[in-house]
Amino acid sequence: MTSSLRFLMCSPDHYDVDYVINPWMEGNIHKSSRDRAVDQWRKLHNVIKDHAIVDLVTPQIGVPDMVFTANAGLVLGDIAVLSRFFHKERQGEEPFFKQWFEENGFTVHELPSELPFEGAGDALFDREGRCLWAGYGFRSELDSHPYLAKWLDVEVLSLRLMDERFYHLDTCFCPLQDGYLLYYPPAFDAYSNRLIELRIPPEKRLVVAEADAANFACNSVNIDDIVIMNKASDDLKKRISDAGFRVIETPLTEFLKAGGAAKCLTLRVTEPVRVELHGSAAIESRMIRLDGHLLDSGLINRALDIVVEAGGSFQVLNFNLGVQRQSTSSAEVKVTAPSHDVMETIMSQLIDLGALPPPQEVCDCHLETVVQDGVAPDDFYVTTIYPTQIRMNNEWVTVDKQRMDAAIALSADSETAECKLLRDLKTSDRVVVGVEGIRTVRKTESREQRNTQEFSFMGAGVSSERRVELVVEQIAWELRQIRDQGGRVVVSAGPVVIHTGGGEHLAHLVREGYVQALLGGNAIAVHDMEQSLMGTSLGVDMKRGVSVRGGHRHHLKVINMVRRYGSIAKTVEAGVLKKGILYECVRHHIPFSLAGSIRDDGPLPDTQMDLIQAQEEYARLIAGADMILMLSSMLHSIGVGNMTPAGVKMVCVDINPAVVTKLSDRGSVESVGVVTDVGLFLSLLVQQLDKLTHAYQVAQSV
């Protein structure tokens, strides 16, 4: 027996599965046998008694899980941090464990109420006592970890649990003597796995397969060179013994029904203190403020989801609910992240939602100078479509040329900031880094706006004919308004427009002044002209819908013809091209840009094969747009979406709901998705516009 070692156990006199608080308990209510449980517990007790002293806490009626003493609290030296159970079903255990700790000479620390932490079930010392691995995600809050670091004066490494079967850290992670670790990596998020790999060298990591993990092989008690567990496969046993340990199996099947095994049934109460080491936790906390229709628009949910999904945690400290339908709410939220990196990831997403630091914490943004043309500093802030401001010399300055996926740059001699693509950065530009002193200005999105968005957005696969018609009516109305007010509508279109018979309708829109710029690729122009000149689109007769003999050569002949004339405009001037979309563009001086791609035939002389140049032409034509109609080209629509700032209404039409979702789901109220055939859409749009114009003319003549 290793005489100095002590464990706390609780006999299973009142043990049963009475409720369900973890997936193992499902279907097991009152299905465990008390006799068998008592027998299995005694065997475990005996094994442990052979190697250490076992103290017992008196079992209590009404708290059947008290048998799992690992959850009593966390002990180091003579300090015990008492558990605050997440589930009310186990909260009744707290006073009994507290009493035991006090009666046994421990100084008991209690966490603030509503800050769950489930003791040694979620916190395991490295066997050399150098650090504390602490789990969070299901039962314990990340915010409890700084308290552990402070009270126990130990380095805390936070690990996020992802698989609800492994809801406590000790169900999937077991530090062993000599720096070994028995663990099940899929139970953790990527960041936590990286942290484990940074700290534990590969030869010391004993990775457990799912079948062993499901038998609670990681829920082992390690005393010197023995590892006591419910059960392990031969392969695992071999690997553990190759590492110099002896495995003792003792069946604990009755306790598995409640989601626990050997380690859960014990609490090590003699953890050695390493006086030379001191407390720290990489955990960071920050306050943020959110204002707006937080509940109606779902903003608060989105913000809190961002925090949790990225591996952080939150506390809503203040919530002022706007009581009237039109009044806004505000919230102050404390965000906690396991590391600086995770905090920056969370903060940059919260900034996108319009989050602000509280007034007392607002500071200037951080700038770093570019040292290589076209390369930003590592930590540069990546822009979004939303109007952004940065704080300089205690004032908020609006960033120009807003677009997504850029850096915010100030040239060496100016105090004006603009969005710059990486390739445009120049040595000596100063670039905003980190997340301090940056805010985005978001429109307050009300319940009504959200409903409209949901109504018009048809990504849910329920695009009945009538719903398409309703959306088209709305778009037609806006198109007419924009035209009448001298606004700008930009159309990006793919060749499907022509294949589906939409060419004549789009040409009509150009002719009638509804389009102020056209963006596309080589293909739409080639197919449009092929249809105008030969009546086919990629060799298919557009009237009869059948392939024309030798038709596959048509598009090359068209390309060749335009090449002979030198450009599309010259082909129109020569009187050769007499109708179609490109014809109308040339005739009505509507600028167009054709961005080339690797698969382009020809290409047409107008196709811009220098992609950087093409992106610049697109950006120039998009500037000042009121609406962008994205018609059935994923490629060009995504390109356009990336360079468009918020505030520009985008209408995306595609037959594939996934494409519509991708393009419309930019968190912007201005996006409308229509899942339908683009030819049908254009035909309905033209009909609706004619109806509107006709009504207008009738009204004027009365």
Interacting residue ranges for ligand NAD, rule: CB under 6 A: 494-496, 500, 521-523, 526, 555, 597, 599-601, 632-636, 654-656, 659, 677-678
CB of 45 to ligand ARG, least distance (A): 17
Which SS3 state, helix, strand or coil, does residue 7 take? strand
- CB closer to ligand NAD, 14 vs 666: 666
CB of 76 to ligand ARG, least distance (A): 17
Tell me the three-class secondary structure of 305-321, residue by residue: HHHHHCCCEEEEEEEEC
Residue 691 to residue 684: CA distance in whole angstroms = 10
Residue of 428, 509, 141 lying closest to 307 (CA atoms) = 141
What is the Cα 114 distance to its own chain's centre? 27
Contact between 68 and ligand ARG (CB under 6 A)?
yes
Q: By rule CB under 6 A, what string of x and - marks binding of each residue 131-170 to ligand ARG?
A: -------------------------------------x-x
Under 8 Å between Cβ of 505 and 685: yes
Under 8 Å between Cβ of 156 and 283: yes
Under 8 Å between Cβ of 81 and 73: yes
Give the footprint of ligand ARG on residues 102-131 (CB under 6 A): 121
Give the footprint of ligand ARG on residues 254-283 (CB under 6 A): 258-260, 264
**H/E segment holding residue 131:** strand 131-136
CB of 21 to ligand ARG, least distance (A): 5
List 45, 51, 145, 168, catalytic entry: 168
User: Residues for the chain: how many in total?
Assistant: 702
Work out what residue 508 binds among ligand ARG, ligand NAD, none; the CB cut-off runs from 5 to 8 Å by kind.
none
Which SS3 state, helix, strand or coil, does residue 326 take? coil
Work out what residue 230 binds among ligand NAD, ligand ARG, none; the CB cut-off runs from 5 to 8 Å by kind.
none
What is the torsional sign of CA 375, 381, 384, 390?
negative
CB of 645 to ligand ARG, least distance (A): 49
Give the footprint of ligand ARG on residues 162-221 (CB under 6 A): 168, 170-171
Q: Which residue reads 């421990």 in tokens?
A: 106
Work out what residue 536 binds among ligand ARG, ligand NAD, none; the CB cut-off runs from 5 to 8 Å by kind.
none
CB of 601 to ligand NAD, least distance (A): 4
Neighbours of 325 (CB within 10 A): 10
Tell me the three-class secondary structure of 381-392, residue by residue: CCCCCCCEEEEE
Work out what residue 494 binds among ligand NAD, ligand ARG, none; the CB cut-off runs from 5 to 8 Å by kind.
ligand NAD
Q: For residue 550, give the DSSP letter.
A: T
Q: Which amino acid is at 479?
A: L
116 token code pair: 């769950």
- CB closer to ligand NAD, 247 vs 523: 523
CB of 523 to ligand NAD, least distance (A): 3
Work out what residue 74 binds among ligand NAD, ligand ARG, none; the CB cut-off runs from 5 to 8 Å by kind.
none
Work out what residue 258 binds among ligand ARG, ligand NAD, none; the CB cut-off runs from 5 to 8 Å by kind.
ligand ARG
Residue 526 to residue 520: CA distance in whole angstroms = 11
How open is the CA angle 393-396-397, to the nearest 5 degrees?
95
- Sheet with 438-440, side-by-side order of all strands: 395-398, 388-392, 438-440
Q: By rule CB under 6 A, what string of x and - marks binding of each residue 78-97 to ligand ARG?
A: ------------x-------
How open is the CA angle 620-626-628, to the nearest 5 degrees?
75
| One residue of 12, 32, 45, 65 binding ligand ARG per CB under 6 A | 65
Work out what residue 170 binds among ligand ARG, ligand NAD, none; the CB cut-off runs from 5 to 8 Å by kind.
ligand ARG
CB of 314 to ligand NAD, least distance (A): 38
Active site residue 168: yes
Work out what residue 70 binds among ligand NAD, ligand ARG, none; the CB cut-off runs from 5 to 8 Å by kind.
ligand ARG
Residue 160 to residue 338: CA distance in whole angstroms = 9
| One residue of 71, 313, 536, 615 binding ligand ARG per CB under 6 A | 71
Residue of 673, 674, 668, 630 lying closest to 404 (CA atoms) = 668
Contact between 421 and ligand ARG (CB under 6 A)?
no
- CB closer to ligand ARG, 88 vs 589: 88
Contact between 70 and ligand ARG (CB under 6 A)?
yes
User: Interacting stretch for ligand ARG, rule CB under 6 A, among 68-76, 97-105, 234-242, 345-353?
Assistant: 68-76
| One residue of 5, 8, 21, 346 binding ligand ARG per CB under 6 A | 21
CB of 263 to ligand ARG, least distance (A): 7
Q: For residue 668, give the DSSP letter.
A: -
What is the Cα 80 distance to its own chain's centre? 37
Give me the phi and psi of 399, to 5 degrees please: -85, 130
Residue 502 to residue 581: CA distance in whole angstroms = 10
- CB closer to ligand NAD, 356 vs 609: 609
Binding region for ligand ARG (CB under 6 A): 21-22, 25, 65, 68, 70-71, 90, 121, 168, 170-171, 258-260, 264
Catalytic residues: 168, 264
